[in-house]
Amino acid sequence: MLSGRLALLSFVMLAAVSVPAHAATIRITIDKLTFSPASVSAEVGDTVEWVNKDALAHTATARNGDFDVTLPPSKTVSSVLRKAGTVDYYCRYHPNMRATLTIAP
Ligand SMILES: [Cu+2]
């Protein structure tokens, strides 16, 4: 019983070590053709969970070419931030949809 608990504890500790301490998951929701929140701070290695609540397809397309994520209707897509910078992004289908990601190294 006790050794089982110890084994579980060491497993949890190993898992914690293998993931960078700052890696976080950030949720950005698209609802009625709006990215929300419109301005997000993140770090390289963080995951963005793009939640598209619209019945339309969207994209999250970086103006500087750093990322281009396709967001099918009513789907959630995850992408990992690989590059630091202040990135303005938009939707290729609805160019009025705009937002900013500030990615620290
Ligand atoms: Cu769109």
Q: Is residue 74 part of a domain?
A: yes
Q: What is the pTM of this model?
A: 0.79
Ligand 1 centroid from CA 22, angstroms: 30
Number of domains within the chain: 1
Q: Rounded to the nearest whole angstrom, what is the distance from the C-alpha of residue 16 to the centroid of ligand 1?
A: 37
Compute the distance from residue 56 Cα to the ligand 1 centre, in Å. Answer: 7
Gap from CA of 87 to ligand 1 centroid (Å) = 17
Separation of alpha carbons 35 and 6, rounded Å:
44
CATH no. for residue 66?
Answer: 2.60.40.420
Neighbours of 12 (CB within 10 A): 10
Identify the residue whose tokens are 């993140």: 42
Ligand 1 centroid from CA 96, angstroms: 8
Show the domain range for 80: 23-104
pLDDT tens digit sequence for 53-104: 999 999 999 999 999 999 999 999 999 999 999 999 999 999 999 999 999 9
Say if 4 falls within a structural domain. Answer: no
